[in-house]
Chain A
Amino acid sequence: MSHEFLQVLWFILIVVLWVGFYFLEGFDFGVGMLLPFLGKKDQERRAIINAIGPTWDGNEVWLITAGGAMFAAFPQWYATLFSGFYLALFLLLVALIIRGISFEYRSKDASPKWRATFDWMIAVGSFLAALLLGVAFANLAEGVPINAKMMYTGNLFTLLNPYGLIGGLTTVSVFLLHGANFLSLKLEDELRERANAFAKKLYIAAVVLNLILLITTYIFTDIYAHLGLNPGIVPIVGLLALLVSGYFINRKQEGWAFILVAVNIVFTLITFFMIMFPRVMISSTDPSYSLTIYNASSSAYTLSVMSIVALIFVPIVLIYQGWTYYMFRKRITTKKESLVY
């Protein structure tokens, strides 16, 4: 296999890992943000957490694997991105830490104050993580200042530009909607109704922000030069899926609503990667300073070894992770005796 083929293959594999992370952890983040608003009583909150309880940690591993894969396959990308977005990633880490620990600790003490604190840490952590991921990807598509030595020359505020913030808010709104759909699939009775009512409101916000993102993407990124006025089937299907999901949300066909919003998330993220390809870090300083899959990658030997490992183990992981969703497919009730703490 040629080096070039392997570089493209690993770009695709990293897209797959990020897509898996967005699809799975997207609803986890949404559920986390909705927790204090949707759950009025303690048992309701416990039921909401239990809807993602058995699986959220496994979902987060997609992020860790994506990070590891970027390090292994495109070390220059990993080095420039992670050192460049230093404070944004630090905040992301804090968000993931306080959120992760709260899932495990919130029910381990009876004090209402204790629980309310951890519930809000879940919500704030989920919000911050979704926002920062959105900001990061918008900036990756838009381009950031990078010098000839592959070094990022901006700071945190460089990332918090209008387009970055639109990317962040859009991600937050879509993850919220994804989470509301997921909860209306996983919960029963009143909570299910409440989740559905939230989904209806969030749908409007997500559509508005998606349209703003679409327009601003043509202003701030080089999508027009790169993909053309008609950007192709992927972004169009992504947007249409979101628009159509409203129909199913209104009819309370939760399965379809969930799938369509998932399609929107996945296809929008793929669009960002399509704008970038074959660049992985677009330099706004000088296009020739951009990092590409060709100048940022590992050797052909390392990529070959990693390809073999990935082709064996990614399918295995998909099978057993899919199986756990099947195992825990039942709806969660708020009846005290059936709640796992």
Chain B
Amino acid sequence: MLCSRKRVNLTALSELKIGRSGIVEGLQLPDEIQHHLMHMGFMPEARVRAVRRAPTGDPTVYAIDGMEVALRRETARWISVRESEEESR
């Protein structure tokens, strides 16, 4: 899925490389989980950065809203983010 006009990549949060940031676009999760995540800061237009993966490769720690929150891949793949071009040097 590529929005080619402005060269903005729309990807799943789980695909975000470590050290890279993105802007949360939307959450495709059941209401209750979505609520919980939004209260943890995973809100559309919020900036999120992939900080590190657990030593076992999953879950991944994300920095959002001044906090660090770990999500499993199975959850993060339902959060879509815009990876801005300026970030991907």
Partners in one complex: no
Which residues of A pack against B, CB within 8 Å?
A: none
